[in-house]
Every structure is written in structure tokens, then in C-alpha cells.
Amino acid sequence: MEINIKKHLLQFKKPSGTSRGVLYDKPSWILSVQLPNGKVAQGECSVIPGLSPDFIDEIQYESFLSKLQRQFSHWDQGEFKDVALFQDDKWKQFLAEWSAFPSILFGMETLAKEIQHEGSAILFDSAFTRKEVAIPINGLIWMGDEAFMLAQMEEKLAAGFSTIKMKVGAIDWKKEKALLKQLRTRFTADELTLRVDANGAFAPKEAPSKLAELAELDIHSIEQPIMAGQLPEMKTLCATTPIGIALDEELIGIHGKTEKEQLLDFVQPQYIVLKPSLHGGLTGTKEWIELAESLGIAWWMTSALESSIGLNAIAQFTSTFQNDLPQGLGTGGLYTNNFESSLVVENGYLSMNK
């Protein structure tokens, strides 16, 4: 089987601010296979430089993609047709071998699903893919100056979102808090759910007071209030917090089931946020979900800035679980040069295009 690999540099419509800087573009590598029926199966290896654990630079990354290409040259497309894809010993060996490369795992798993379904855009059978239900999602407010963030808020409210997530830690805290207060003054917690994402912006000593201030505004939850790797401090925060705490970056780079369980059992967060391209591909993400649910920890899925190829797979994968929380998904409308999408957003819900 010959896998073709092509880099695709996604261009943001507007510079997108994060606590790690402003993003103007983002690379993905698209895996593709020509099928006997004339269709092309695709998968996406999506990375965020500076965050993805398997990406150092493009030279290093493309060398691993070349290794993947050589490895699968010995496989036959028929090996992807089994209903229990990823369950036989050969696949398990592959998943174990590449466990430290979540973006490559995700790209290969999604490619395999498309091959299994003969190039169809439907990778998982669910009420969502049957177009019977939609997935609730949050509207994301990117970092920027006060006017830019306020304009985004008005846009999300006009679009009918009932859950809004705002990234914090980029501008003055008082200004960020004022923006949140403005929303809360207009809408009660029953009318509008507010989430914030700090991306580790707070120091451990200042985090408790910040959480108390957010609780006054009926904030639902905060993602990664302090930098990853400070487990005792995070454990204390989760035990005493007045609002929900969701681990995100804390999960990156943890691959083994035992290590995952030990982390969750020790920290005991209220939530975890899962990104297949960062947290172990589809298989690794499913393992995180099963462990979290066994410990009474809730979760939601979000994207790692994938193109519509990856987003389609993540949305369908998410729909196979019973989870009513708003997810951090979309259609890839951030980009000027995205691929055609089978997803559509309306009134704060994501659905398959009818």
C-alpha cells in the first residue's frame, strides 16, 4: 500500500492569539491513499509547534512520516477492512510503537477509518452521522486586545451560542475579568455558560485568588490554570477550587495506561479536555475517557486546530460517546485555505451537512 504525504500550511483568516504567542499559520500533513473504487482516503497529522510532543521541527517530523510511509508499504488495504479495526496484534503493535507520536497516530487512524469505509466521509455510525442529532459546542473567544475580544463575544452571542469559552492570560487581568463580568451582567449562568482557558498562565500562588474571582462571576470551569508539571499544586487547587478545573496540557506526553490512571487518581480534577492529535490519537483518547469516567471525572473533546479532514473525524468519534457537555469543536472556519467540510454550525450546535 502506498501512502502519499503532503504538507498543507493552513492560513488563519485573522491572527489568533494564545498564551504561547500569536498564530498566523499552522502546518498539517495530509496522508492519502488511492482506493480501488477511484476514491481517495485521507488522514491528517496536525501539529501545533511548541505544544505537540512529537514535533521538534519539520525535518525531524517528516523523517518520521517517511518511516511511517515505509512501514505501511508492506501492508495491504485488505488489512484495514476488519470491523474490529485496531484490535488485532499487528495494529496493537503499531499503536504501541508510535504511542509517543499522537499526531501521527491520529493521522494514521483516521486514514485507516477512511480506507475501511472505502473513502466515505462517514467513519463512525452514530445518531450524529445519521443526521438525527447535533453536538452542542462552545464559541471560542481568542486572545487579543479588549476591543477584539469584545467583538468576538458579540459575534458568538449573535450566532446563538449558549456556551462561550474565553482564553485568558494575554491582556491585563482586570480587563479580562471586566469582559467576563460584562457577559455575566447580561446573561445569568442559566442563560449562558462561561468557560475560561488559562493555558497555564497563572502562578500557583496567585491561582486561588483568581479562581475565587471567577467564582463570583459563576464561571463554569477553567482549563489548565497553572503550568503543567506542578502536580502537587494542581492537586491542591482541584481539591479546594470553587469552580471546575479541567486538565489539558497536563495530559500531553503521558502515553501508558498506568501513568494516565496514576495522574488522574492523584490530581482528581473535575474535568479533562481531550485533543486526539495531542493525547494519543483516537485509541489513546478513548483510554483517557474510560479511565476518567471510572474515576467520576467528566470530559469534553476539543480540536487542536485541525483542518476539516481531522475535525470531521474528531466530531464523529466524539458522537460515539454519551456526553451532553458542549464540546470544543467546529468546522475549521478559522482558515482561508481549508478543505471542504461535511460539518456545519448553527445556533451553537455542530451537525453533519444535510
pLDDT > 70? residue 83: no
Cα distance between residue 98 and residue 96, in whole Å: 6
Looking at 113, 156, 165, 167, which residue is catalytic? Answer: 167
pLDDT > 90? residue 354: no
The cell for 289 is 475517557
Q: What is the mean pLDDT of residues 15-30?
A: 82
pLDDT > 90? residue 20: no
pLDDT digit string, tens, across residues 229-240: 999 999 999 999
pTM metric for this prediction: 0.94
Confidence grade of residue 58 (pLDDT, cut at 50, 70, 90)? very high
Confidence grade of residue 353 (pLDDT, cut at 50, 70, 90)? confident
pLDDT of residue 332: 85
pLDDT digit string, tens, across residues 94-151: 999 999 999 999 999 999 999 999 999 899 999 999 999 999 999 998 877 788 888 8
The cell for 291 is 479511565
Looking at 26, 113, 210, 275, which residue is catalytic? Answer: 275
pLDDT of residue 203: 95
Whether 205 is a known active-site residue: answer no
pLDDT > 80? residue 19: no
List, in order of start, the domains of the chain with CATH numbers: 4-116 (3.30.390.10), 135-352 (3.20.20.120)
Confidence grade of residue 18 (pLDDT, cut at 50, 70, 90)? low
- The better pLDDT of the pair 288, 142 is held by 288
pLDDT of residue 14: 84
Output the average pLDDT for the chain.
Answer: 93
pLDDT of residue 169: 79
pLDDT digit string, tens, across residues 297-318: 999 999 999 999 999 999 999 9
pLDDT > 80? residue 170: no
Whether 275 is a known active-site residue: answer yes
In the chain, the percentage of residues whose pLDDT exceeds 70 is 98
pLDDT of residue 90: 86
**3-state secondary structure labels for all residues of the chain:** CCCEEEEEEEEEEEEEEECCEEEEEEEEEEEEEECCCCCEEEEEEECCCCCCCCCCCHHHHHHHHHHHHHHHCCCCHHHHCCCCCCCCHHHHHHHHHCCCCHHHHHHHHHHHHHHHCCCCCCCCCCCCCCCCCCEEECEEECECCHHHHHHHHHHHHHCCCCEEEEECCCCCHHHHHHHHHHHHHHCCCCCCEEEEECCCEECCCCHHHHHHHHHHCCCCEEECCECCCCHHHHHHHHHHCCCEEEECHHHCCCCCHHHHHHHHHHHCCCEEEECCCCCCHHHHHHHHHHHHHHCCCEEEEECCCCCHHHHHHHHHHHCCCCCCCCEECCCCCCECCCCCCCEEEECCEEEECC
Q: What is the mean pLDDT of residues 248-273?
A: 97
